[in-house]
A and B are shown apart, each in its own frame.
Chain A
């Protein structure tokens, strides 16, 4: 199969708190896992990605972890800010090539 499951579908946090979004994938051949942020009416923006030979990657307040054995990966955002509010999509390369299969999205709301 080539499914990517994502949860939660909505996430509300207070400014300054951390947010975690989790995804699981079914294609054991998947080897690349990007995360996209999509603000209302705008393009999906690549914010971080991880390859299968790495367990964790950080970029300032954003980090991604990958557990290949369990086939899951997570996005961690620390010190959340109101401008982090958006829909976040996880994705995985599936079926060979570089076809991306996306999760169903998480609506993150950072409240003041």
Chain B
């Protein structure tokens, strides 16, 4: 089975940096993915990690440690439009499906 944990809510200030953590315990692993979901909208793909280390993509970076079952999403220079839910998802061994965590609702304040 898959168990994926994320904080339910976080608050941060515009212009700041925020780190959203994700821990997972899964029977198989073939990559960890981050999605963004604005209220009332569909999730959209942000980034993924298959190997350990940091992947940088503009203001967003994602880190993975497979031995620790741990990932984080780092958002820099926060903007009001970054207020959204951030979903961590693990892909199964066969590469066939994603299992999502409950999501972290991020509120960016002026």
A and B assemble together: no
Q: Give me the interface of B with A, judged by CB distance under 8 Å.
A: none
